[in-house]
Structure 1
Amino acid sequence: SAKVRGASVYSLSEKASDKEAAQLAAKENSSDVIAGISIGTETDDIVRSILIDLAQRETKNKSVRFAKLLLPELGGVGALLRNSHRYAGFRVLTAPDVPSVLVELGLLSNAADEKLLMSAGGRDKLAAAIFRAIDQYFADRQS
């Protein structure tokens, strides 16, 4: 819809925050499999699952902490979606030892978002917002 606008941030969850997030994650994940990306290993599936789960617990918490720092920064530049912190099982978020988020900076179907994203000044402001959140994340880890 052209009326929907704003940024959102996804962090990892086995259960999607909404139906739309689940459908989008399923579509993206299936395209990775079609592209030939394999997560197979010689390790027993049960052992692999347990090890990944243990590693991902703290990583998920770190990702959520970062998302909570990032959203107010992005909100200072432009609109945020109503449900701006979303959870989904995107493969790009599943590295067990690397905190990660997937950032959507806006919707090109919305004129205001498109204007922000098409302008160099808007992109600079969005990049600066992301930088501030990253800087704050690491500053918090040092203290």
Structure 2
Amino acid sequence: MSYIRQKYSVLIGEQTSERLKIEIGSADVEAAKDMASTTVRGRDLVTGLPKTIEVLAEDVAIAMKDVIAEIIVAIKETLEETSPEIAADVIDHGIVLTGGGALLKHFDTVIAEATKVPVFVAPNPLDAVVIGTGEALKSIDVLKNN
């Protein structure tokens, strides 16, 4: 929202911002240059009137760049603080992305390049945590004893 406001002098809402991220968002600025653009409607901050603008996928990637960088720093810090045994498992088997962020285009490749660890997107990333929790609850007695 802030990036669109600064670059185009157009105010868009959270829903429009989220739609941009889903439709043309990319974690990789270079890859985004080859992606399509889309149009959005917002309020022109100069005139106060509604305005339609074309937003490039590259714009969305640039807008998310700092947040992506923070996530990568957090992943690296976590890997550095992880016990050697678990870190070895992660290096051997990779990182699995779950949740809505896993759906961001090129996110897996950007993380893999930054960490030098294989990265995979879970088959149903939006449901993966719930499915895993359900599986864990099937063995609640085992979990209680640990």
Common fold, TM-score beyond 0.5? Answer: no
Q: Which has the larger radius of gyration?
A: 2
**TM-score scaled by length of structure 2:** 0.28
The structure with higher relative contact order (CA 8 Å, sep 6+) is: 1
